[in-house]
Structure formats: structure tokens, C-alpha cells
Amino acid sequence: MKLFERYIVKNYLKNFFIIFIALDFFYVGVDLLTNYNNLPDSANLQILYALFQAMNAVNYVLPLSIVFGMIVTHFAMIKSNELICMYASSISQKALVRPFFFTSLVLTIFYVGLNTTEFAYAYEYSSNLKKYNRISTNSEELFLKHNNQYIYFKKLDPMKQVAYDVSIFEVNGIDLTKIIRASSAYFVKNHWILEDANITYKPAITSLNDAGFRSEKINKLQTMEDFKPKIMDNVYQSEYALSISDGMDALAFFSAQGVNTNKIKATLFYQLFFPFFAPFLIVILYYKAPVMSRYFNTALISSSFAFIALIVWSGLFLLSRLSANGVLFSEIGILSPIIILSFMGLYFYHKR
């Protein structure tokens, strides 16, 4: 990395983190003031709630901080005449925009990687703390279909990955062939283990001489492969707050079951593609920014750039919500605007 690139990256990251931390704390502070009466009495739970809300705020403030960091850094270089000195040293616009773009791209990829972990459930955990004074809530009275099985859970704890009073009805077409009951089950390595399972077989009766019902007891029974507790819990809650890895599993699972997956797809597209508007918007704004402050009102232009960033972010966010609600296809509401922004960024980069 060249000297001027290290200098730009250093200043850009410094401004980015200052803006990011400020916006994150502002979000958490406003939320705490708004929901103060609904917070749990325990100080430990209040700290946990604030931590989860800070993690949830990242979804909103990080893309904006990436763009705002570039705006602040660029106009600070204009004010100190550093930018014009770099141009005078025969450094091209393309060379100067690359540190901004690649640094923002790395930050965005890191953020997308976070959404493959439990980080994606921060809002759910904070909401549970506020409503129930605990991180996870038990889902009750679940009745779901998995291939040729109809599954009933009396109670499911998605965090502990344990279910209680499990009944599985296995069918062949419209004919019931088997009933499996267990007092408890736990999820291990992509399948469920039923403890002390009692299996009742219902044979196909064609004559009076055929065998009747038969039952057996098994200490540990493995069944329901790839039926993750988090997927089941979100179906019960009618929500799709899934991490990227769980979202992909849910998409594959429900597609095989013939279930409408538009909301799951919208959630995945939002987590995978929406954050990438920031690096491409940086390129577009950079080429529209002035080179020196002598002939321009830099305060007005920088404010206009921040306003444009907010408009683009809010517009894309609105389209993503419309996609999540089934009004628009995910490919149109989420993926297409990001592709358009990327082509605009490439156009400015190569044309200028």
C-alpha cells in the first residue's frame, strides 16, 4: 500500500469509527429513554438489553457511517488543501477513490459475515428481555409438517434446542402408518434425538387375519433431519429474523415442503445485498464532489451529500420492507437497486 493510500485509509477509518460510535450510542440512548418504564428491574438485564440494542443499531448506522465517513474525510482533505496537493503530485482520481471503496467494501463484508452468527438475533433477544425478562421464550403448541410427518411439540426452547412432549404422526398418502411419542427431544448435529420414544405402528388391514397394532420402545431415536429449532420457532412466531446460515437452511427446507418462501428470500437478500449500496454510493459521491473549496460552498455540498445518502438509504430500506411484505419481488425491490448502483459506480469510475 502506497503512502497516500495508507494516509487516506487511516483518516477514513478514524472518521468512520467516530461517526459509527456516536450514532450507535445515540440510537441506544433514545431507545433507553423511550422504553425506560418497560425495562426489567435487574441491572444485569438492563445492561444486556442495552448491549443487544447496540448490536441491533449496527444494522442501521453502519452503512450510513461508511458513507458519512467518506464525506467527512474527503471534505476535510479539501479544507486542508491536501486533496489538491495530491492531484498536483499526479495522483489520479481513480487512485484516490480506491482506498475509500476497498476499505468500505471490507467493512461491509465484515458486517455481512456478522449476520451469519447469532448477531442477527440481537433485536429478538432485546425484545424478549423487555417483554419477558429473559433472552429466549418458549414456543408452545407447535404443529408442523416435515416431509411425510406431522409433528406436534407441546413446548420448544429454541435457545437450549430442547422440545417437550413430542408427538410425530407419520403418514403414507392419507393413511396413518406410525405414531411416535416422547417426553423430550433435543437437537444435535442437524437432527433430533427423541429420548424414551414409544412407537406405535398401524398396519394396513386388508383381512381379519392381518396383524393388528404393534408398539415398541426405543431409548434414543434419531429423526427430523435438518429441522432446526430456530426455523421452527420463527415459523410459529410468523417472523423471519434469521441469520444468513439459518435463512439458507430455511429456504431450502421450506422450498422442499412447497411453502411460500418470499419473506425468507427477502430477509436473505436484505442481509446479503442491501449493505453493499454504501461502497458504490461512495464512488458516485466522490466523483461528484468538488476538488477545492475556493469556488464552492463546501458546507452546503457536504450537507447535501449527507442528505442524499439518507434519501438513498431510506428509499432502499422502504423497498426492502415492501419486498418482505410480499408487495415486490426480492429481486426487484432489493437486488435490482444494488445492481443499478454498482453499474453507476463502475460507470463513473471508468468514464472519469
Give the span between the Cα atoms of 179 and 181, in whole angstroms. Answer: 7
**What percentage of the chain has pLDDT greater than the value 90?**
38
Share of the chain above pLDDT 70, in %: 93
Global pTM value? 0.84
Question: What is the mean pLDDT of the segment spanning 235-256?
Answer: 73
**Average pLDDT value for residue range 330-352:** 90
Is the CB of residue 114 less than 8 Å from the CB of residue 63? no
Q: What integer is the mean pLDDT of 203-220?
A: 73
Q: What local confidence, expressed as pLDDT, does residue 352 receive? A: 62
Say what the pLDDT of residue 81 is. Answer: 86
249-308 tens-digit pLDDT: 878 777 776 777 788 888 899 999 999 999 999 999 999 888 777 777 888 898 999 999
Query: Quick one: pLDDT at residue 121?
Result: 85
**76 or 136: which leads in pLDDT:** 76
What is the mean pLDDT of the segment spanning 135-159? 79
Q: What pLDDT shows up at residue 207?
A: 64
| Torsions phi, psi for 297 (to 5 deg) | -90, 95
pLDDT surpassing 70 at residue 111: yes
Of 225-234, 265-274, 325-334, which gets the smallest average pLDDT?
225-234
Could you tell me the residue ranges of all domains in the chain? 3-117+267-351, 134-241
pLDDT in tens, 66-106: 999 999 999 999 988 888 888 888 888 899 999 999 999 99
Q: Which residues pair with residue 313 across a beta bridge?
A: none
List C-alpha distances in Å: 343 to 270, 287, 288, 338: 19, 14, 16, 9
Given this model, what pLDDT does residue 29 score?
94
Question: 221 pLDDT band (50/70/90 cuts)?
Answer: confident
Give the phi and the psi of residue 151 in degrees, each rounded to 5.
-115, 135
Place of cell 413430542: 166
Helices 262-273 and 298-324, axial angle in degrees (round to 10)? 160
CA dist 155 and 138 (Å) reads: 6
- Please determine, for residue 234, whether its predicted confidence score (pLDDT) is greater than 70: no
Tell me what pLDDT residue 53 has. Answer: 93
| Residue 239 banded pLDDT, cuts 50, 70, 90 | low
Closest CA to 68 of 27, 23, 105: 23
Q: Where would I find the H helices in 198-328?
A: 229-237, 244-256, 262-273, 277-288, 298-324
Residue 190 C-alpha cell reads as 442437524
